[in-house]
Amino acid sequence: MELTSEQLAQFNRDGYIIFPELLNSKEIKILQSEVDRVSQIESEMVVREGEDETVKIMFRLHEDNGETASPAFRAAACSPRILGAAQQCLGDNNLYLHHSKLNMKSAIEGSAWPWHQDFHSWHLDGIKEPDMATMTVVLTEATPINGCMYVLPGSHRYGRSDPRWDDSTAYNLWVAKTSDMKKFFKEFPEPVPIIGGPGTAAIFHCNLLHASGHNLSSEDRWQIFFCFNKCANRPNVVENPRPDFVRSTNWTPLKLSSNDSIINHAKITSAN
């Protein structure tokens, strides 16, 4: 997929690009089936929340080994529509995945993600430069009532803010301070919701502020995130590094697959 000059200008200016219907219905059904399979696995890479231990996050779906490895999601990550778009936005063909994660916001109870920049955490992994981008794909419809993601256009140009530690959810993280967010809301355009049916996607800069609310609807919301980094920007050595599933040590450049690799994988799997 070749991005237009207008799209690349928008990424540099606003920090994100939205792609309606990036993946088709057949591809989405294949990935949804993988979500059902992997969510049954007992692993530290499958994070649960609440009394009934509903799955909130699944990590490391893109690798070809490990408990949560999914050939279908690896095919998606290497698709020209996903990896190819990231290569163009970052201006580098040698990219690897710092991590992949699938957020599952359960009906009624799915918790919020406060405003944050991904590089709040990633620079602590030993990554020097904020030359990273994430492609996210909606796997079930995303709407304001079911806790869709919002982005704050242009906020990546501010740089990394001074965050605070938030431990209010099942997966703790560094988030933007309330006082800073009040200031940012005055300085930048209105937040933009990433909404649409399954297959809708967006790529965004690692310093772009983003958040999502509680899922108040009667349906679960699923969304996959592929977090790309330049191989030349791989992490430096740090004390007590986070686990491999959130701070990858596989820095081999990803290779572009064919545009129909997700469907071809499913055909091979069913034939076996």
From first to last of the 272 residues of the chain, give the pLDDT tens digit.
Answer: 899 999 999 999 999 999 999 999 999 999 999 999 999 999 999 998 777 788 999 999 999 999 999 999 999 999 999 999 999 999 999 999 999 999 999 999 888 999 999 999 999 999 999 999 999 999 999 999 999 999 999 999 999 999 999 987 667 789 999 999 999 999 999 999 999 999 999 999 999 999 999 999 999 999 999 999 999 999 999 999 999 999 999 999 999 999 999 998 765 565 54
What pLDDT is attached to residue 269? 60
What pLDDT is attached to residue 49? 79
Q: How far is CA 125 from CA 13, 16, 48, 120, in A?
A: 26, 23, 23, 10
- Candidates 156, 170, 145, 137; CA nearest to 51 is 170
State the CATH number of the domain containing residue 60: 2.60.120.620
* Domain extent for 93: 5-271
How much is the pTM?
0.95
What pLDDT is attached to residue 109? 86
Residue 144 to residue 146: CA distance in whole angstroms? 6
- What residue type is assigned to position 15 of the chain? G
How many separate domains does the chain show? 1
What pLDDT is attached to residue 130? 98
What pLDDT is attached to residue 266? 65
- 83, 231 contact by CB (below 8 A): no
- 198, 16 contact by CB (below 8 A): no
